[in-house]
Amino acid sequence: MPEGLPPSAIPAGDDGADAARRAVRVQMLATEHWSLLATRSLSWNEAFARAGMFLSLLSGAVVSLALVAQATAFGEGFVLFALLILPVVLFVGLTTYVRLLEINNEDYVWVKGMNRLRSAYLEIDPGLAPYFVTGTAEDAVSIFKTFGSDESHMNTDWFHGFVTTPSTIGFVDAMVAAVLAAIVVVQLNMAMVSAAVVGVVAFLLTSVALGWFGYRSQAMAHLALELPRQTARASDEDRA
């Protein structure tokens, strides 16, 4: 029996050449599976690193602002420093948010690929089906099953989006935008109450804009993945 091939994967009566081809096929599928796992791990490491880098930058900016405020008694020097450093922090935060969305979309691709490989495993040995706790198809239900969610959670756990890493960074970005807007308004000799209102409005608008962008990014990524499949299905139906 070829090394690495489970006994149930070789039907009775198969000759040695067919068994060897099956063994090579299993080995290639397993290699690709490990490759996708490694790529997914690297993506998540990048996500955590990017989020940590942004939060570290934000912490350093807040400490710097506190020191400058003490040195200038919240004078013009503090305002100038804030107007210089906060846009940089906001820019890094926005790019981090966009990159985290891309990583999530890429992760969806890797999971879909691993589901496809599990489907190939089942083609070789259908008896393995009871041992898979993750999805074995490429539809949305199977993919979310691999993520750890069942079909019922896909519609009821919509609030899960508020606790994801991109959403957390998005809310922090909205806070930075609100503070920056409030400082600008104060410089226009507006009352503190007006500045607070402007800050709240800026926070809400930024949050909504980032939420819309995240939803659109996810929808476009999923559409790009499903379009070739739908096209292939339509071509098969036309030929039939």
Write out pLDDT tens, residues 10-47.
Answer: 444 456 777 788 888 889 999 999 999 999 999 999 99
Amino acid identity for residue 88 in this structure: V
Distance CA 8, CA 6 (A): 6
Distance CA 68, CA 227 (A): 54
Place of tokens 């409005």: 201
DSSP state of 3: T
- 106, burial (CB in 10 Å: exposed 0-12, middle 13-18, buried 19+): middle
- Among 1-5, 117-121, 218-222, which is the least confidently predicted range? 1-5
pLDDT of the residue at 5: 47
pLDDT of the residue at 239: 55
Write out pLDDT tens, residues 192-206.
Answer: 888 999 999 999 999
Distance (Å) of CA 86 to CA 47, 83, 94, 178: 22, 6, 12, 11
Distance CA 172, CA 174 (A): 5
Q: Domains of the chain: which residue ranges?
A: 16-239
Most trustworthy range by pLDDT among 28-32, 160-164, 223-227: 28-32
pTM flag (> 0.75) = yes
Do residues 128 and 121 lie in contact, with contact meaning Cβ atoms separated by under 8 Å? yes
Question: How many Cβ atoms are within 10 Å of 7's Cβ, its own excluded?
Answer: 7
- pLDDT greater at residue 132 or residue 240: 132
Select from 115, 51, 93, 104 the least CA-distant residue to 215: 104
pLDDT of the residue at 158: 65
Do residues 58 and 94 lie in contact, with contact meaning Cβ atoms separated by under 8 Å? no
- Percent of the chain residues past pLDDT 90, beyond the cut: 53
Is the pLDDT assigned to residue 220 strictly greater than 80? Answer: yes
Is the pLDDT assigned to residue 4 strictly greater than 50? Answer: no
Could you tell me where the DSSP H helices lie in the chain? 16-72, 76-124, 140-147, 151-156, 165-187, 192-239
pLDDT of the residue at 231: 53
Q: What tokens does 138 get?
A: 């490429």
pLDDT of the residue at 47: 95
Is the pLDDT assigned to residue 1 strictly greater than 70? Answer: no
What mean pLDDT do residues 185-197 have?
A: 87
Confidence bin at 155 (pLDDT 50/70/90): low
What mean pLDDT do residues 34-62 have?
A: 95
pLDDT of the residue at 84: 94
